[in-house]
């Protein structure tokens, strides 16, 4: 049955990639006849977002700057702000945090100027994420809290849940797992209320990771398994592989090395099929740890999704 789920999930994953490529092709076709106006800028900005999601960073960066030039020429402020956001996100993906921060702040200033509160909250989440990655946790939480307050003000439940999740993960970065869980559960409650299934799966994973580091392995396994069920149905194979890796790490911590190896093997199979070399390497490292149970103080690598995507701006 597990194999059947994996095959179905891989099919869903490849179908999702096909659907995304279809959108990319449609936008490229549209741009062939589009004028030099706001509609063209909007199409270019969304195409940039899709290209970045597929890992085509150089193409995304080039298109984002082209969209920015047109938006500036016609004084389309919303388009300028979104282009800035896309450029910032691209710098973020490349690990260039100073430039990412610079462009997120540029986007934030424009969004505040035009009264785009949803966009303002999204920019604050982006800025917070950069500070979090730089280890400036107090500033990150301040930005996330401001984003949360704006989302609450405008009734944006999805945005509120995302901000709380970001706050929780920032506390987890500091090993403050009780505070992390407090925010992760608040986020989960909202996501359950609005029936955001994919995000519920993300919350389950975050909660599982906190319990893992707290040493509450039964709860960690429970939440990882809940997340895995959602992600397999959705065909989110990178996260499925990540969860198998994390479940293996929990079994290793419990001293059940055979079960740990079984989970790592599942993760490796998926990672190879989707071309995730880093994920495969992490699994092989962890398998080595499981083959050497006498090293009781060793700690396998945890698979994590550090680069949390923002809502489309």
pLDDT for 71-104, tens place per residue?
Answer: 999 999 999 999 999 999 999 989 999 999 999 9
Is 27 part of a structural domain of the chain? Answer: no
Is 53 part of a structural domain of the chain? Answer: yes
CATH of the domain at 267: 1.25.40.10
Sort 29 into a burial class: Cβ within 10 Å, 0-12 / 13-18 / 19+: exposed
Name residues whose C-beta falls within 8 Å of residue 175's C-beta, 6 or more positions apart in sequence.
213
pLDDT band at 127 (very low <50, low <70, confident <90, very high): very high
Residues 105 and 128 in one domain: no
Domain span at 146: 120-189
Give the model confidence (pLDDT) of 209-255 as tens digits.
Answer: 999 999 999 999 999 999 999 999 998 888 999 999 999 999 999 99
In whole angstroms, give the CA distance from residue 85 to residue 218: 40
Among candidate residues 68, 88, 115, the one where a domain is terminated: 115
Is 47 part of a structural domain of the chain? Answer: yes
- Is residue 245 within 8 A of residue 271, CB to CB? The reply is no
Is 29 part of a structural domain of the chain? Answer: no
Residues 234 and 296 in one domain: yes
In this prediction, residue 296 carries a pLDDT of 47
Name residues whose C-beta falls within 8 Å of residue 230's C-beta, 6 or more positions apart in sequence.
197, 198, 200, 201, 204
Q: Provide, rounded to the nearest whole percent, the portion of the chain with pLDDT above 90.
A: 63
For 172-179, what is the mean pLDDT?
A: 97
pLDDT band at 7 (very low <50, low <70, confident <90, very high): very low
How far does CA 218 lie from the centroid of its chain?
25
Among candidate residues 91, 115, 139, the one where a domain is terminated: 115
Residues 149 and 42 in one domain: no
pTM confidence score? 0.81
Is 28 part of a structural domain of the chain? Answer: no
3-state percent helix, strand, coil for the chain, nearest multiple of 5 = 80, 0, 20
Residues 14 and 83 in one domain: no
Is 7 part of a structural domain of the chain? Answer: yes
Residues 217 and 296 in one domain: yes
Residues 229 and 299 in one domain: yes
How far does CA 107 lie from the centroid of its chain?
20
Taken as a whole, the chain contains a residue count of 313
Q: Provide, rounded to the nearest whole percent, the portion of the chain with pLDDT above 70.
A: 85
Instruction: Tokens for 83, please give them.
Output: 């282009």
Name residues whose C-beta falls within 8 Å of residue 287's C-beta, 6 or more positions apart in sequence.
261, 264, 265
Give the model confidence (pLDDT) of 18-37 as tens digits.
Answer: 456 667 777 777 677 777 88
Among candidate residues 189, 206, 222, the one where a domain is terminated: 189
How many helices (H) and strands (E) would you count in the chain? 14, 0
Residues 200 and 277 in one domain: yes
Is 159 part of a structural domain of the chain? Answer: yes
The DSSP call for residue 308 is P
Is 25 part of a structural domain of the chain? Answer: no
Is 301 in a helix, a strand, or coil? Answer: coil
Name residues whose C-beta falls within 8 Å of residue 174's C-beta, 6 or more positions apart in sequence.
137
In whole angstroms, give the CA distance from residue 68 to residue 11: 37
Instruction: Tokens for 100, please give them.
Output: 């990412």
Residues 103 and 124 in one domain: no
Residues 50 and 74 in one domain: yes
pLDDT band at 1 (very low <50, low <70, confident <90, very high): very low
Name residues whose C-beta falls within 8 Å of residue 33's C-beta, 6 or more positions apart in sequence.
none
In this prediction, residue 62 carries a pLDDT of 92
Q: Number of folded domains in the chain?
A: 3
Residues 216 and 313 in one domain: yes
Residues 220 and 296 in one domain: yes
Residues 212 and 293 in one domain: yes
Sort 238 into a burial class: Cβ within 10 Å, 0-12 / 13-18 / 19+: middle
């Amino acid at each position: 049955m597990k194999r059947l789920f994996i095959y179905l999930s891989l099919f869903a994953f490849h179908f999702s990639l096909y659907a995304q490529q279809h959108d990319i092709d449609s936008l490229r076709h549209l741009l062939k006849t589009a004028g030099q106006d706001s509609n063209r800028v909007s199409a270019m900005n969304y195409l940039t977002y899709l290209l970045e999601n597929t890992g085509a960073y150089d193409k995304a960066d080039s298109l984002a700057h082209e969209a920015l030039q047109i938006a500036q020429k016609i004084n389309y402020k919303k388009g300028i702000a979104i282009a800035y956001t896309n450029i910032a996100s691209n710098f973020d993906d490349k690990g260039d945090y100073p430039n990412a921060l610079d462009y997120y702040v540029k986007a934030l200033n424009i969004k505040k100027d035009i009264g785009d509160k949803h966009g303002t909250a999204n920019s604050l989440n982006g800025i917070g994420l950069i500070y979090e990655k730089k280890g400036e946790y107090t500033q990150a939480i301040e930005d996330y809290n401001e984003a949360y307050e704006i989302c609450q003000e405008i009734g944006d439940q999805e945005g509120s849940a995302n901000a709380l999740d970001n706050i929780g993960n920032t506390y987890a970065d500091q090993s403050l797992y009780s505070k992390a869980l407090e925010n992760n559960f608040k986020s989960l409650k909202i996501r359950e209320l609005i029936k955001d299934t994919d995000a519920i799966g993300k919350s389950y994973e975050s909660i599982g990771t906190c319990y893992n580091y707290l040493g509450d392995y039964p709860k960690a396994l429970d939440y990882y398994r809940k997340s895995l069920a959602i992600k397999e149905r959705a065909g989110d194979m990178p996260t499925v592989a990540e969860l198998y890796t994390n479940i293996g790490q929990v079994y290793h911590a419990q001293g059940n090395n055979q079960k740990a190896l079984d989970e790592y093997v599942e993760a490796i199979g998926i990672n190879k099929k989707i071309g995730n070399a880093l994920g495969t390497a992490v699994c092989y490292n962890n398998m080595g740890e499981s083959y050497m149970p006498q090293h009781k103080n060793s700690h396998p690598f945890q698979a994590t999704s550090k680069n949390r995507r923002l809502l489309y701006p």
